[in-house]
Structures are given as structure tokens and as C-alpha cells.
Chains A and B, each alone.
Chain A
Amino acid sequence: MGNVPSTVKHCLSYEQLIQDYPWLKRWLLEEKTITGHEYPEFVKIVEVGPRDGLQNEKEIVPTGVKIQLIDMLSGTGLPVIEATSFVSSKWVPQMADHTDVLRGIQRAPHVRYPVLTPNMQGFQDAVAAGATEVAVFGSASETFSKKNINCSIDESMLRFEEVINTAKEQQIPVRGYVSCALGCPHEGHIEPSKVSEVAKRLYEMGCYEISLGDTIGVGTPGSMLKMLQSVMKEVPAHALAVHCHDTYGQALPNILTALQMGVCVVDSAVAGLGGCPYAQGSSGNVSTEDVLYMLHGMGIETGVNLAKVIEVGDFICNALRRKTNSKVAQARGRTL
């Protein structure tokens, strides 16, 4: 309240205001967001189903199905669809067809198709295949970094720096991910300061957006709040995204908390594709359908057509011969 003139401060007793302006009460009460919380008017959904989702599905999906999935998603209004990952097929067999996928999809105007590029080799392959946006993956946990990509956080940052610098030269935007932002399957609790340190590094290196991932879904609104408070000291809210896993059912309240904190980019996966490699049989990514249902119910715009996303979910679940993880899809499919 530092910049508010003293006259306004004087007016700020509720009774005084209503006395002076009787019309104000009705106007205020008609406002949508009268819960003491503010929410962004628009939330950008980053659809990670084709990459993060399929990567964690046991069945290897044919290239044609991947392409069809992405093409269908392109017709839903989603602004960003993570298409594939230029990692070595030795590590991630599901993504072995990355070049064919990127070349095969029909790129809708106004839709972006970032791809993962863990190192220079991957970056070069991605660019050769026509990538116009890339993403790099850091971790807030040393142990996770070592076990996942076989190097320390610092070493990974050096690798990414190379990618980011080259990407800058070619005017290719880079998104940064921080995994284990709310807990690590090996280390357990992760200090919020560690998350902000990694987020800051990625942001300062040149990532335009940092997606903070609750990799094992252990976070709650309590830990989400603390983590975001720490990160927001280093990275502005408009450059942040949340990537919540629903392994413990906490994704939607965690996303809600992030929105209340001013975050307006949310990662999700159609049909909640992608299990959790650390809790066998459990769910992983939050379902795009369920996120959309919540956001639209709150009057938040996304530009995405929920009914079309449900159709896409049906398609990929049929192709994978599995049930959807989306509760909205389950309910809509069977409503009497």
C-alpha cells in the first residue's frame, strides 16, 4: 500500500466507501473473482501428451499414430504441443522416430511444436528435422540428475548452455524444465532454494519460460506455495509454468495454488497419458481434460475446445488399448 495517497487510505474503510458510493456494493458483488483471490484471465496450456505422455507408456506407439495424435491435438485450439524428443533411441525407444514424427505432422498456424533436446547432438538433429522451438531439462535434485541423465546438475547446465547459445544464434526459443521441484524419488524433500537456483540459471542462460515439474506428484498446495514463493524471487511469474503430476491426486489443487500465485501456464497431457515410473501402476501427468474443465468452470480462457480434446483422448486410449486417466472423460462418456 506504499504508493496509495493518504486520502485514498482514509476512504478504505468499507463502510465509508459504501456510504459515499452506494452503487459500489452491487458492482463489487457482481464481480466474478470475489473470493479474495485473483486468477489470470487466460491460461496457456502446454500439451505434453505426445512426448512426456507417450514416453511413459509401456506400449511402443507406431509413428502414424503419433502423427495422427498430434494432428488431432492441433485441431483443438491448444497453443503448444510438445511433439517429440531428440534423445538417443537407446535411452528412450518410444521417441526413436522423432525425425519422422516432426516431419510428418501438419503444423497448424498459431500452434507451436517444441521438442526436447538434451544436448547439442539432439539439438542439431532437431533443427535438421525442422524444429522451431526446443526444450532442455534440468533437475533440482543431484541424485535424480545423476540417475536420469548421468551427470550432475552443474554438468547438465553446461550442456544446456551450449544448446541455448546455439539456439539463440538461430533464433530458436528454448523452454527450460526443472524436475523434482516438489520432491525427489531418491532424495525425498527438495529445498525450494535449490529449485529457484536451477530455475534462475536456466532463465538467465536464456530460456524464455521455466516449467517447474512435480515429477512424482508428491507436492501439495503447501509445498507448491513455498516453492513458488522462492522461485518468484528469481524468475518473474509470467515466465513460469507448472507441470504437475497427479500421482497423489494433488495436481488440480496444486495448479489452483499456482494460478493464485500468478502463474498462467500449465502443462498437462491428454487423457493423463504417461504413468509414473516411480510408483508402478499409478498415474503421472495431470489430464488436460480435467485441467480445462476446472479452468473453464472458473471463467478462465484457454482457447481450447474441451469436447475435441476428449475425442482425441478417446482416440489415443483406443490406440493404446488403455483406459483414460481423465475423470472428466470418464464422467462424460458415461453420463446417463
Chain B
Amino acid sequence: MAAVMRLVNRSILSSAMGQKYVAYSSSAKAGVRAGQALPEKVKIVEVGPRDGLQNEKTMVSTETKIHLIDMLSATGLPVIEATSFVSPKWVPQMADQVEVMKGIGRKPGVSYPVLTPNLKGFQAALKAGASEVAIFGAASELFSKKNINCSVDESLQRFDEVMKAAKEAGVPVRGYVSCVLGCPYEGKVAPEKVAHVAKRLYSMGCYEISLGDTTGVGTPGSMSEMLEAVSKEVPVNALAVHCHDTYGQALANILVALQMGISVVDASVAGLGGCPYAKGASGNVATEDVVYMLHGLGIQTGVDLSKLMDAGAYICRTLNRKTSSKVALATCKL
């Protein structure tokens, strides 16, 4: 009976996620399950210059930011989140948003999305030459109120005007959902709430929804539970995971996400960006460590790991900090 149940479980999963991934027969040993079809390619969305630097204490010069992005452009990364059009009052690190946007060398085939929290930010972004934007929703009411001073529904309504303007301008919009595996204020977050917010963003017109474990508390258990709920509402090929490594769980969580059909992963070079909710702890997962794992799995990313490590080494020297990437740490000392 257990064998029957296992087969049915897998059937439910593959039908929920489309027929892209092969279901295995129940006579398959555990070994085959562990080797369950992984995506052939994974798109890495590099968030170091925005999410990373935004959470670094040291103020970084415009020239450094531009040089970092240019170095990242040469690594093969397909998407590099360049800056954020928020008010410099809230995020001083991103005050030079226009200069950065205008200063970087745009590599053909590479996308440079920017954050636009409202219509004003969107218009400024467009003027500065942005051709892709991103908006942010939270899966936790308390987090939304504390972070952007309004409820989740109110925040999504604000984004309505951004979505409308973006559609008219033919600019694609990526949606972020934060606190998908836990909230620093509320604690546990219901997977259904995450699914609800993700669905809203998707039906509003976001082409991709990045699910963020903002405090890094998630584990493969909560990750799979959450993805199970979300993939009922949003097709899995429109989903991405944005894992924080605060509790060391990021790569394990990413692996589980891949096994569930996710093929877009956010990461930050050198693991830039600490955690504002656990002082001294790490935040974003390091792009180098993600790429190392993916390449070890035979998954293509298009990224040159050694060039990526060069970019990481550069920004760490400039910030006068140690890298948070274990691959970088290990490789340069062998």
C-alpha cells in the first residue's frame, strides 16, 4: 500500500506541476527518487548590487557599484538586479540609483531589473533607462506594516498603478514575496498566505514571482510545503526562490526547490548583505556556492565561476570584509 501511495503522491505532484518532470514508478529505489529529474538549466538572478549592498553597513561609491555590475556582466549571469528606485531617505545606499543605471555597461542578453516601490520610483526608473522593474509584497501582515507601513492588500493596490504604467510602457515586472517561510515578527507564515500573495502578483501581470525566505529560517520541510501550496496557484516555471543562509539552510532549500521544478534561483555574489533581523548573521546565499552546487549537479547556468569569484573578491576588498562564500574561501587558500 505504501508503494501505491508513493506512486500516487508523485502523480499528484507531476500533474500539479505540468508534465515536464518524469514520474518514477513505485518500484524505484530511494536512489532514483533522490535523482528525480532536475532542471537542465537554471537561471541565476544576481541580487548582490541591490539586495546585497542595501544590507551592507559600509556606503559604497557609485564608481564601485558600477564596476561591480560591469564585472558581473562579464560572468555570464543573465540577470543582475542593478539598483532600487526607493527614496534615499529610506535606503541611503541606493541614493545614486540614476547614476548607477546610466553608468553601467549593458551587456546584450543581460537583464538589469530595478526595484520600484511606487509609481514615482517607476517613472524615475524608466527615465533613467530601466527596461525591467520589480515590486515587493509580503506574506506577513506585520512585516508589511513594519516594513512599508501598510497592509499587504494596500501594498498590492499601490502596485496596481505601477503594473498599469509598466504594461503601457511594455516593461516586464518581477514580483517578490517576502517572509515566505517565516516572519521575524509573526513567526510561522501559512503557505496558503504565500500562495495568495503570489497569485495576486501573478494575476496582476508579474512574469515571475520570487519567493523569499527573508530571515533564512526555512528548511527543506517548510520549503516543500510552501512550494506545494504556491505551485497550485502559480505555474512552477514562473517561480523563483530567494533563500537566505542565516541558518545555513539555503543550499538544501534550493536543492529541494529544484527537485520540485523551480529553475530560477536568486543569489548574491560573495553572499553580500547581512541579515537585519539577526545582527552579525549572514543573509543572502552566495552566488558562488549556488553555482558550485548547480554545476556539480550537471545543471547549466551559463556562469563562469572563476569570473564570479573575481567579482566577489573585488567587492569584498572594497568593502573591507570577508566573503560569505565558502567556495571563494576554500578556493583561494588551496
Q: A248-B327, A331-B275 are in contact. Are A294 and B251 (CB under 8 A)?
A: no
Which residues from A are CB-within-8-Å of B334? 278-279
Most B-side CB within 10 Å, residue of A249, A253, A261, A281:
A249
Residue A28, interface by CB 8 Å: yes
Report yes or no: B279 in contact with A336, Cβ–Cβ below 8 A: yes
Q: Taking beta carbons and an 8 Å cutoff, which residues of A are in contact with B? A: 1-2, 4, 8, 11-12, 14, 17, 24, 28-29, 31-38, 217, 219-223, 225, 228-229, 232, 237, 246-250, 252-253, 255-257, 260-262, 276, 278-283, 287, 290, 293-294, 296-299, 326-328, 330-331, 333-336
Interchain CA distance A257-B252 in the complex, whole Å: 9
Report yes or no: B281 in contact with A327, Cβ–Cβ below 8 A: yes
Residue B59, interface by CB 8 Å: no
Interchain CA distance A218-B249 in the complex, whole Å: 18
Report yes or no: B11 in contact with A2, Cβ–Cβ below 8 A: no
Please, could you name 12 A-B residue pairs with CB atoms under 8 Å apart, sorted by A? A36-B10, A220-B297, A228-B34, A246-B326, A247-B330, A248-B289, A248-B292, A252-B252, A257-B255, A293-B247, A293-B249, A327-B246
Report yes or no: A35 in contact with B255, Cβ–Cβ below 8 A: no
Interchain CA distance A17-B10 in the complex, whole Å: 14
B142 to chain A, nearest CB (A): 14
Q: Taking beta carbons and an 8 Å cutoff, which residues of B are in contact with A? A: 3-13, 15, 25-27, 29-31, 33-36, 184, 216, 218-222, 224, 228, 245-249, 251-252, 254-256, 259-260, 275, 277-282, 286, 289, 292-293, 295-298, 325-327, 329-331, 333-334
A128 to chain B, nearest CB (A): 40
Interchain CA distance A174-B34 in the complex, whole Å: 29
Report yes or no: A247 in contact with B245, Cβ–Cβ below 8 A: no
Q: Which of B13, B31, B222, B228 contacts A297 (CB 8 A)?
A: B222
Report yes or no: A221 in contact with B298, Cβ–Cβ below 8 A: no
Most B-side CB within 10 Å, residue of A2, A252, A287, A298:
A252
Q: Which of B4, B228, B277, B282 contacts A35 (CB 8 A)?
A: B228
A231 to chain B, nearest CB (A): 10
Which residues from A are CB-within-8-Å of B8? 12, 14, 17, 24, 28
Report yes or no: A37 in contact with B34, Cβ–Cβ below 8 A: yes
Interchain CA distance A24-B1 in the complex, whole Å: 13
Which residues from B are CB-within-8-Å of A17? 8
A196 to chain B, nearest CB (A): 13
B148 to chain A, nearest CB (A): 19
Which residue on chain B has the smallest CB distance to residue A14? B11
Which residues from A are CB-within-8-Å of B35? 225, 229
Q: Which of B29, B249, B293 contacts A250 (CB 8 A)?
A: B293
Report yes or no: B220 in contact with A298, Cβ–Cβ below 8 A: yes
Which residues from B are CB-within-8-Å of A281? 329, 333
Interchain CA distance A279-B326 in the complex, whole Å: 11
Report yes or no: A282 in contact with B326, Cβ–Cβ below 8 A: yes
Most A-side CB within 10 Å, residue of B11, B252, B254, B275:
B252
Report yes or no: B260 in contact with A35, Cβ–Cβ below 8 A: yes
Interchain CA distance A137-B257 in the complex, whole Å: 36
Most A-side CB within 10 Å, residue of B13, B256, B296:
B296
